[in-house]
Structure 1
Amino acid sequence: MTASAHLPLGTHLLADLSGVDAALLRDCAALESLLRQAAIEAGARVLHGHFHSFGAELGVTGVLLLAESHISIHTWPEAGFAAVDIFMCGAARPQVALDIIAAALQAGHCALQTVRRAPPDHA
């Protein structure tokens, strides 16, 4: 896949997931595995990932760099809340990734904002 394989057109999903069990929001390795699975099933190619736990009872921040852009998550176990950011271009399907993440986290509610990303001449 070359750098020119993807047009600068994409969908950026900003999802606030609430009502999530705190234990699911503290497990750094499980969250990384979940986001990797979601990216692959959405048709994206993972280039690199970095995830950080803030401590045993605290949240996680993580990001996957994708050939198609990125997925990130920031969690607050004490509030049962996760902020998920999914931006994908090309044939990748960001909604598929979000559906997988929300289902795995058993989110009670998902507040979603969808932004179409494109240069002015493609809007």
Structure 2
Amino acid sequence: MNALGRHILAEIYGCKFDILNDVKKVEQIMVQAALEAGAEVREFVFHKFSPQGVSGVVVISESHLAIHTWPELGYAAVDVFTCGEKVDPWDACNYLAEQFGAEQVEAKETKRGIIDSILPQKAAANL
């Protein structure tokens, strides 16, 4: 099955409050996660909520990493979407879980843009 990309949705539980509530720390960890996966970082934006929580996105040449945190619950919702063969989204997810001090991670991968089902076999071979 040929797919244009891999998209991981990760539920990261039992994380450290101080990390999930620090916009600069979350930004640093997310950017580094992209690099750990072999991605090329283009730009990023993060926002700190009041009284707590952080949302942000790292745009990579291969797609994106996004996060929203609930520090009071020790929870982070993360998605990592990569296109092509050179970047492994699981490397980014594993790095994030480790850096956030996670106790539990539930994640699933979805193939995106399954070209076998939308293009004739000959056209897919030309990609």
Q: Normalising by structure 1, what TM-score? A: 0.88
Instruction: State which of 15, 38, 41 in structure 2 corresponds to 1:20.
Output: 15
Q: Name the CA shift for 1:122/1:66 in 2 (closer, same or farther; >3 Å).
A: farther
Structure with max Cα Rg? 2
Q: Does 1:68 align with 2:55?
A: no
Q: Does 1:96 align with 2:91?
A: yes
Code of the residue aligned with 2:28 in structure 1: it is S
CA RMSD, Structure 1 to Structure 2 (Å): 1.7
- The sequence identity of aligned pairs, in percent, is 41
Match of 1:9, SS?
strand
Q: Does 1:38 align with 2:36?
A: no
Counterpart position of 2:121: none
Q: Normalising by structure 2, what TM-score? A: 0.85
C-alpha displacement of 1:122: 5.7
Instruction: State which of 7, 11, 25 in structure 1 corresponds to 2:6.
Output: 11
Gaps of 5+ in 1: 1-6
Gaps of 5+ in 2: 119-127
Match of 1:36, SS?
helix
Write the distance in 2 (CA, Å) between the matches of 1:21 and 1:89: 30
Question: Cα deviations across residues 86-116 of structure 1 (Å, max 9, x unaligned)?
Answer: 0001111100011110000111110111101
Counterpart position of 1:53: 48
Question: Cα deviations across residues 36-94 of structure 1 (Å, max 9, x unaligned)?
Answer: 11101111111110000003x40000001111000011000111100010000111110
Code of the residue aligned with 1:43 in structure 2: it is G
Write the distance in 2 (CA, Å) between the matches of 1:47 and 1:19: 30
Match of 1:118, SS?
strand
Question: Cα deviations across residues 18-53 of structure 1 (Å, max 9, x unaligned)?
Answer: 111211110100111111111011111111100000
